[in-house]
Chain A
Amino acid sequence: MIHKQYNNINEQVFTDKLPNGLSVFVVPKRGFQKRYAFFATDYGGADRRFKLSGKWIDTPEGVAHFLEHKMFDTEDGNALTNLSANGASPNAYTSTDITAYHFECIEKFNENLETMLSFVSIPYFTAESVEKEQGIIAQEICMVEDDPDYCLYYGLVKSLFKHNPMRDSVAGTVESIAEITAQTLYDCHKVFYNPSNMALCVVGDVDPSAIVDIARKVLPETPGEIPERDYGAPESLAPFRKRFVKDMEVSLPIFLAGCKIQPTPRGQKSLWAELVCALSLDLLLGNSSPLYIRLYGEGLINSDFSASFDSAAGAAYTMFGGETRDPARVFDEVIKEISKLSENGPDPEFFRRIKKSALGSSIRAFNSFEAISGNIVEGHFRGFDPFETPELLAKISQDDIIEFYRNNLKPDNMATSIITPFQ
């Protein structure tokens, strides 16, 4: 087991790799009552075409999420209920690139951890249970289709991407999930839920070696193969279409603009690219930026306005938006500001301040067990160590930022999505 101490933020991490290929991370936290476990597979909504026993197979949109729901079924009942009855608050989520199972509890942590590792690694599906779940998930899809933010987001990614699975809904559609069978689920589980493709992270007042022992005891002994996946031919940075508009029951128009950017490389460079991107977006339109303050003062945006970055399935993009009366004007103002910043760079005094603020935020993130685990596991799948964030932040220069604006934030690579109120 490797032990790393990070004195600046008073945290330590124990890391181990089991013979079956599973990576285990433990972050001991003295003085806390809550203990938190996060067990994830490097598999998400975008991983729809992959190799199984040497042959490429295609799976329906929404299968990773469907599988996540079905994993809670065990031969003798439902793991969600069992964990909950044993004092744990379990949950799970599926994103474009990750499926994660997690729980927190105060007592009986080891017992609950065994339960979680066991139900996630032992598939149990029947035709009846798959059919029943199709009904439940169809309801969930209906519910999210009433959610304006959901429609806004998928309006954007479906505009940015032509065929990359980043554009697909993680939950799928009522039609696509109807194609899922028990066999589809067994196939996906076999390929992606093998320990070599997974990671476990535990945060709380625990003994690291006990965690490793439990993982060894419960999980399969033999390593699986690293899955081969296919996201189709790389796309150009030009969006598939420039604009998406939909009328819904909303009080104000909501607007989201996105820009395709160069996919980030694996390794520590990936963290670097993320940090440069985040800092560039803060300087452009974060809530202490001149642009944000001006637009807020004019009543064009409110405190809802924000920006973010996402990368998966061999593609990456940034997005920004919020509620506004005048989406066209806000978009236009952002484009003008990008062009100004690409020319002159940000004000050096502001650049100095925003780095202080980013350093504080990176420290604050260590309050959250969820954020710590999420960052460690995401970092592991992408090959970086999130604890190096403070050091990397300090190294970012004005030139790195200018380069990001020039190379990545090109209006030609942008698309917009707008939800407008019914007239």
Chain B
Amino acid sequence: MPGVSLTCIKTDKFKTGCLTVNFICSLSKETAAASALLPRVLRRGSAELPNMERISAALDELYGARIEPLVRKKGETHCIGLYADFPDDRFLSEQNDAQNLLEETAALLGGMLLSPNMQDGFFRLDYVESEKANLIDDIRATINDKRSYSIERLLEEMCSGEAYSVNKNGDENEARAITPESLTAHYRKMLNHARVEVFYCGFADHERVLKAVTSALSGLKPRKDATIPKTNILLHPSEKEPRHLSEKLDISQGKLTVGFRLGSAMENPDYPALIVFNSLYGGSITSKLFLNVRERLSLCYYASSMLDKHKGVMIVSSGVEFSKFKMALDEIMFQLEQVKKGEISEWELTSAKRYVITSIKSALDRPGGLEELYFDSIISANPYDPVDICDKISKVSLSDIIKTASDITPDTIYFLSGTDISNKESDIDT
């Protein structure tokens, strides 16, 4: 069907089958909260199984099959859908009611996505309000984990004005303003226009999967021109000097977070070189950041880098003592200069490559990891085969790394430190 595609990986490795259905939307401040809310509301009830009680009972009958909301941010695309996994029929051959777990789970998932429980043509007010409250709690909960909170804050500031600054769950005020009417309108638009990517991995044959999925999603209309939205890439920071930001919270360990733009490496991105560069600089335990900032200089408990190859942004995140902030920052920058200069040993390069190859291959040995790798490739500007990319990674050379790193520039530096208010525990006997 135009605009709807199925990727099907047959394997006998797993005890379960895994099925995901994803609607690929553009990430934007105005729609992020509504998009993130949708799968939560859809999960509450379908026309056929109108409430959680009925859905839970049906999933229990399917031998503990799971269907969960799926919300992913990849560059500036927002991918919304449902994730299902269920035991493979083969391992329940003694049970006579377990022969169609794929078909039955797919039908249940299709019912949730395409025939929601509605009242007078709109989502039910009670479901919308209760899931809004949960979504808002999740948005606020970012502060509970100081490491990811620091990264969120950095991106908000560094990419203000870009869609990329939007959290995958959206923003609290936008969430608050959602009504059953507005959510239903958003749902209709997504349902009829967004590109749909369906993924299955498990023991079933392609024909069986195609039949089950086609039947479960028969309510979908063809969507011409439904393409994967593009991510807008900013090659360089908008200001000459990196911006410094700092905030205080009642914490005992500081968080130093630095955002970089990848520069010319994003003009015609060489994914294998980007992946190896990240592993070598800060993505693995043989990386320059780990071995120098943490091990040699003991400047922090962790220091690592991560890279969004869709957006062309790299983030270095570290936990440091308040007093060592400046030293840690200098070392993080110094190590990047070392990479740019090609001060890289053979050992470092080989280790970095081995590390990423192992991570990719072992992810392919897990249903969730396999799904994630294929999905990431499908929505990339230049899709690649997750199996073949390992070969290309092993061929990355020192000069590829130097070229990739050459134009990486710090954009924003964010430091989260402690307040002076000390807080004492209170033990209360009752």
Identify the stretch in B30-38, B182-190, B359-367, B402-410 within 8 Å (CB) of chain A at 4 or more residues. Answer: B359-367
Contacts of A226 in B (CB 8 A): none
Contacts of A245 in B (CB 8 A): 426, 428
Q: Would you list which residues of chain B between 92 and 135 have a CB under 8 Å from chain A?
A: 92, 94-95, 126, 130, 133-134
B351 at the binding interface (Cβ < 8 Å): yes
Q: Looking at B59, B64, B92, B142, which has the most chain A CB atoms within 10 Å of its CB?
A: B64
Q: Would you list which residues of chain B between 5 and 25 have a CB under 8 Å from chain A?
A: 11-16
Q: Would you list which residues of chain B between 23 and 53 have a CB under 8 Å from chain A?
A: 51-53
Q: Would you list which residues of chain A between 3 and 47 have a CB under 8 Å from chain B?
A: 8-10, 29, 31-34
**Contact with B91, one of A9, A81, A107, A142 (Cβ below 8 angstroms):** A9
- Given known pairs A8-B91, A359-B63, the reply for A81 and B253 (CB within 8 Å) is no
- Given known pairs A288-B59, A364-B64, A367-B15, the reply for A139 and B361 (CB within 8 Å) is no
Provide the bound-state CA to CA distance between A69 and B239, in Å. Answer: 43
Q: Would you list which residues of chain A between 225 and 251 have a CB under 8 Å from chain B?
A: 241-251
- Given known pairs A9-B91, A34-B365, A243-B429, the reply for A299 and B133 (CB within 8 Å) is yes
**Contact (Cβ within 8 A) B141 A251:** yes
- Given known pairs A241-B429, A364-B87, the reply for A31 and B64 (CB within 8 Å) is no
**Contact (Cβ within 8 A) A86 B354:** yes
Provide the bound-state CA to CA distance between A78 and B285, in Å. Answer: 11
Identify the stretch in A49-57, A338-346, A349-357, A377-385 within 8 Å (CB) of chain B at 4 or more residues. Answer: A349-357
B389 at the binding interface (Cβ < 8 Å): no
Q: Whose C-beta in chain B lies nearest to the C-beta of A204?
A: B365
Contacts of B215 in A (CB 8 A): none
Q: Would you list which residues of chain B between 70 and 95 have a CB under 8 Å from chain A?
A: 85-88, 90-92, 94-95
- Tally chain A residues at the interface, Cβ within 8 Å: 70
**Contact with B354, one of A85, A249, A252, A293 (Cβ below 8 angstroms):** A85
Q: Whose C-beta in chain B lies nearest to the C-beta of A31?
A: B13
Provide the bound-state CA to CA distance between A57 and B8, in Å. Answer: 59
Contacts of B92 in A (CB 8 A): 359-360, 363
Q: Looking at A290, A296, A359, A369, which has the most chain B CB atoms within 10 Å of its CB?
A: A359
Q: How far is the CB of B45 from chain A (nearest CB, A)?
A: 11
Q: How far is the CB of B186 from chain A (nearest CB, A)?
A: 22
**Contact (Cβ within 8 A) B60 A288:** yes
A148 at the binding interface (Cβ < 8 Å): yes
Q: Looking at A139, A142, A302, which has the most chain B CB atoms within 10 Å of its CB?
A: A139
Q: How far is the CB of B217 from chain A (nearest CB, A)?
A: 24
B225 at the binding interface (Cβ < 8 Å): no
**Contact (Cβ within 8 A) A85 B141:** no
**Contact with A249, one of B91, B137, B249 (Cβ below 8 angstroms):** B249
Provide the bound-state CA to CA distance between A358 and B427, in Å. Answer: 38
**Contact (Cβ within 8 A) A244 B298:** no
Q: How far is the CB of A32 from chain B (nearest CB, A)?
A: 5
Provide the bound-state CA to CA distance between A33 and B11, in Å. Answer: 13
Provide the bound-state CA to CA distance between A369 and B358, in Å. Answer: 15
**Contact (Cβ within 8 A) B427 A244:** yes
**Contact (Cβ within 8 A) B130 A297:** yes
**Contact with B358, one of A89, A139, A359 (Cβ below 8 angstroms):** A89
B396 at the binding interface (Cβ < 8 Å): no
A135 at the binding interface (Cβ < 8 Å): yes
Q: Whose C-beta in chain B lies nearest to the C-beta of A148?
A: B144
Q: How far is the CB of B427 from chain A (nearest CB, A)?
A: 6
Contacts of B334 in A (CB 8 A): none
A412 at the binding interface (Cβ < 8 Å): no
**Contact with B146, one of A146, A288, A353, A357 (Cβ below 8 angstroms):** A146
**Contact (Cβ within 8 A) B362 A33:** yes
**Contact (Cβ within 8 A) A302 B144:** no
**Contact (Cβ within 8 A) A139 B319:** yes
Could you give, for residues 337-357 of chain B, a 1 whenever the CB lies within 8 Å of some chain A CB and a 0 otherwise?
000000000010011001101
Provide the bound-state CA to CA distance between A148 and B251, in Å. Answer: 11
**Contact (Cβ within 8 A) A143 B319:** yes
Q: Whose C-beta in chain B lies nearest to the C-beta of A147?
A: B145
**Contact with A359, one of B14, B64, B295, B300 (Cβ below 8 angstroms):** B64
Contacts of B60 in A (CB 8 A): 288, 353-354, 356-357
Could you give, for residues 265-305 of chain B, a 1 whenever the CB lies within 8 Å of some chain A CB and a 0 otherwise?
00000000000000000001110000100010010110000
Other A-B contacts than A132-B298, A245-B428, A360-B86, 6 sampled, CB-CB below 8 A, are A31-B13, A143-B252, A251-B140, A357-B63, A364-B87, A366-B15
A-B contact pairs, 12 of them (CB 8 A): A29-B13, A84-B284, A87-B355, A87-B357, A245-B426, A248-B250, A251-B140, A288-B53, A296-B52, A299-B134, A363-B16, A364-B15
A residues adjacent to B (C-beta < 8 A): 8-10, 29, 31-34, 78, 80-81, 84-89, 104-107, 132, 135-136, 139-140, 142-143, 145-149, 241-252, 287-288, 290, 293, 296-297, 299, 302-303, 323, 353-354, 356-361, 363-364, 366-369, 422
Complex A-B, nearest 7 residue pairs according to Cβ-Cβ distance, in ascending order: A360-B63, A288-B56, A360-B64, A251-B140, A357-B64, A87-B354, A85-B351
B residues adjacent to A (C-beta < 8 A): 11-16, 51-53, 56-57, 59-65, 85-88, 90-92, 94-95, 126, 130, 133-134, 137, 140-146, 249-253, 284-286, 291, 295, 298, 300-301, 319, 321, 347, 350-351, 354-355, 357-359, 361-362, 364-367, 423, 425-430
